[in-house]
A and B are shown apart, each in its own frame.
Chain A
Amino acid sequence: MREELRLVNAVIGMTADMPGWPNVLHLQGFKLAALQRTVKVAGLPGALKPEAIFFSATRNEAVVIESKSQSLSEPQAHKYWNLTMEDLIEADCLPGSASSGGISPVYFCEEEAGGHLGPAIEHFNDQYDANLPLVVYNNKQFRLRTGDIRNRGLHTAFSSTLWFDERYWPTRFVPYDAESSPEELLPGLLQELRALLWAAEVDLISAEQLAGGHPSIASDGCVPSFTALHGLPRKQLIGVIRVLVEELRYHCLKNYLGRQKAGSWKRKSTLSTRALQRVGPCLRSYLEHKREGTPFGPVPLMDTAAIELAGE
């Protein structure tokens, strides 16, 4: 899992009341409101793309998190320092009930990167009379390294170090996004396919429905954050899913999923139970090939042209 996504899951975990994991955002009623959404900051050129935006309806406050590796972009830091609730509302990142209120931008980075990033943020803060915060983390704790978190409750909590047991680090809230590899996407996709093949009333299945939910089974799709995704990331994910299912169909499920048109498939319903039995071995075969570094079946993964040439 990409480090940015791992961090997003960790912070979403803090909005829940889960034993073994800090619940500092939960205590103030924060919930995830948007992921990787482009936000324009009034009066400044360019745009921000925070990892995640959280909103507390009870406090009418937002927390915006940005995951960093080592270097600090000053223009980006300016935008975070000047970001307002109005900017988030304008970018459609908050629920309709949100109005003008407090906003807390927070930089996060792994502890080893903090040695470089911390001084860079301190320099920025000194230079521009700002107070942007940096929270560093490792596999045992989250800790405020520098700056002030505007939300005082969060500032106090992170200042005093949040300890946790690494085994409780949550990973299933947003297990993948548009930048994840097909390998990471596959288990969730197979789960969705399995649910669709299991349901007797499902006839046609499209890539969009696999990603965002099929009405017949009231599912919200194999991408848990799909509702929060917009624009290019959304299109990218659907594209990856389309190719993956086509490849699964070609190698494992062609007797159970008929090709319909680009990006959609017809279920051969009478054989759905056998198709279900096929899904598991299919995944195992895929993982085995991945471990051994050999192509998955005769057609390399993601090679749509090869699928077409193979006469499908």
Chain B
Amino acid sequence: MAVSSVDGAAVKSEADLRTYLSRSLLAEYHDIQEGQVRQVATFLKSYLIEAHLPPSGVDAALRQWPFKEVEATGENWLWRLRDGKSNDYFLDARDRRFPVVHTIAHANSADPVLRRLTTGNAPGLDHFWFPSKLLSSRDLGQVIGFRFFQQRNVKGLEEAEAARQLAKELGRSEPPAFRLALTEWAGAGDDLKRLREAGFASRAALDSLSWRRYEAREEGFIHDQVWSNGKVVAYGTSWNAHLANLNALRASYAAAVSGLEQEYALRWESGLFQGEPIEIVMPFARIEDLSEFANELVSGTPPFRIWGESTPSAAGVHEFVGIDLHTGHRLQGEVREDSLRLYLRNETCGNVLMRLLVNLERHVSSEVVTSVDDLLLDPA
């Protein structure tokens, strides 16, 4: 049960939702009880989702596991969802393609539920995948923290075998990950820039980035921690600032995804063959075994979720064809020692490229240069 005295069932409108979620925003999160610090309230969490479904399909997709209850509210874009532990979630589907789910449930409950929703049995639903370039080029206020993550466990990489050996010696199933975090530090923006440009260039995949934003009219603020998987954790005093950040993130992500689909997908249009492949170069990576790497890429398993076949085509090149398990859409490409070329087909959802980029950053090399960098840095 969420740590909140507010009844989610009473939420019928946007104003109710704001009141309900703001109480979590304004709560004291910790208290000293019986001589110990205890968490007495949870942060507000907003999960940005990509729904590649027909307009009527969003609520239908939600009417299945992992949610036990789906209830309409007084607004036709707002649904109340309830999981098996009676936690409430609110789906804001004003944007049908890029809806957002808000909850004040504890992350231990909410994260697995949203993970099941976006990577489980509901085809067409995926979460956002913020590549480091897109995330770090947003301006949502003052940067006050960041987290790096890197785990080179993809087969075929030069360093993967050494990492697996270390994991074996440590008695772990997965190689230890590189993690580095800086929180609530006024100079975080400068440090982030320095670290990504210099010493940690190949390991500085952004796991999350935190901003503090002031809302002058309310004399309030929000502290939003935006994760690469589209989860936004908020505390502060301004719901409006949080909403503005969500809208800005959604708008830039939507513009990038739409740009990929409209400018790069290969298709016949007006009598001409339009679109072009997307080149992804990883200057610090060396894929030692192309076959192993390409097979893992199209194995149909997380993190890539592409299912298909790969074959050697020419010296130093492996080709692959597959479908994106998020939508069933087709894509194909070529893998070389330090780069990939991706061909999106006419129907392919642009989210597949975002997922690929984030996972290449996290599991191969965080320094990824693409032919669509302009779109990531300035989507609008």
Contact = CB atoms under 8 A, between A and B. Distances in A.
Interface of A: 12, 15-20, 31-33, 55, 57, 94-97, 166-173, 187-188, 190-192, 194-195, 198-200, 217-220, 224-225, 227-228, 276, 280, 283-284, 287
Interface in B256-274: 266-268, 270-274
Contacts of A31: 272-274
A6 B314 CA distance: 12
Given A94-B271, A172-B332, 17 more contacts: A16-B276, A17-B276, A17-B371, A33-B272, A95-B271, A166-B314, A172-B319, A172-B343, A191-B321, A191-B323, A191-B330, A195-B329, A199-B328, A200-B123, A220-B347, A224-B266, A224-B345
B347 A198 contact: no
A280 B329 CA distance: 17
A101 B79 CA distance: 58
A227 B267 CA distance: 10
B307 A194 contact: yes
B276 A280 contact: no
Given A188-B321, A191-B322, A16 B314 contact: no
Is the contact region of chain B dominated by helix, strand, or loop, or is it mixed?
strand
9 contacts: A167-B315, A172-B319, A172-B343, A191-B308, A194-B307, A218-B347, A219-B345, A220-B346, A228-B273
B296 interface: no
Contacts of A219: 330, 345-347
Interface stretch (B18-26, B136-144, B333-341): B333-341
Contact of B281 (A19, A172, A217, A225): A19
A194 B277 contact: no
B279 interface: yes
B311 A187 contact: yes
A7 B73 CA distance: 59
Interface residues of B, number: 41
Interface in B8-37: none
B309 A280 contact: yes
A172 B314 contact: no
B74 interface: no
B349 to A, nearest CB: 11
A194 B323 contact: yes
B313 interface: yes
A220 B346 CA distance: 7
B327 to A, nearest CB: 9
B279 A19 contact: yes
A283 B332 CA distance: 16
A311 B325 CA distance: 36
A187 B313 CA distance: 13
B171 interface: no
Give the interface centre of B266, B273, B277, B314 by most chain A CB atoms within 10 Å: B273
B113 interface: no
